[in-house]
Amino acid sequence: MGFGSEPFFTEFSSRGKVLLDASLPQDDGTYRTYRFPWSATPRTKPLAVASRSGPSSVSVYASWNGATKVAKWQFLAGPSAGSLSRVATARKRSFETRVDLQSSATVFAVRALDSKGHVIGRSAAVPAS
């Protein structure tokens, strides 16, 4: 629902629950509100961050800002960027997906998978900090 010449809009469920309440940027110059399916694959690569909490404990985070087709993440680990192997797979949870691993690997990366299991993006390999 748009509110005429005001820059505000709200989406409701069929039962009247507010699903989205938003506004356009100030001086956007438009008053129309449209809703339609949207899909995006960023030009950038997914990001991986690995944070070590012990000699064999590491949390690996995966994200890809703006990507709408990510269904799951594959987590890769190894002794170097050239020798990574899959150590875990997790469904995408929100903007950022975290997996806690028992691993002494020093380098990590992530692969973004679509709903059919196809790789649609891969991060750079990163060291655990």
Q: What is the predicted pLDDT for the residue at 42?
A: 94
Q: Degrees (nearest 5) of the Cα angle 110, 89, 66?
A: 50
Domain assignment present for 41: no
Judge if 13 and 51 occupy the same domain: no
pLDDT at 44: 96
Domain interval for residue 82: 47-127
Query: Does 109 map to a domain?
Result: yes
Rounded Cα–Cα distance for residues 24 and 5 (Å) = 11
Residue type, 17: K
CATH number at residue 70: 2.60.40.10
pLDDT by residue for the chain (129 residues), tens only, comes to 887 777 888 999 999 999 989 888 877 777 677 878 889 999 999 999 999 999 999 999 999 999 999 999 999 999 999 999 999 999 999 999 999 999 999 999 999 999 999 999 999 999 999
Q: Are residues 76 and 19 in the same domain?
A: no
What pLDDT, on a 0 to 100 scale, did the predictor assign at position 104? 94
Do 87 and 110 fall within a single domain?
Answer: yes
| Cα-based torsion angle of the residue sequence 23, 28, 34, 38 in order, rounded to the nearest 10 degrees | -90
- What pLDDT shows up at residue 33? 77
With respect to residue 42, please indicate whether it lies within any of the assigned structural domains. Answer: no
Which residues are CB-neighbours of 87 under 8 A, at least 6 positions away? Answer: 75, 76, 77, 101, 103, 105
In-domain check, residue 52? yes
Task: Give the number of domains in the chain.
Answer: 2
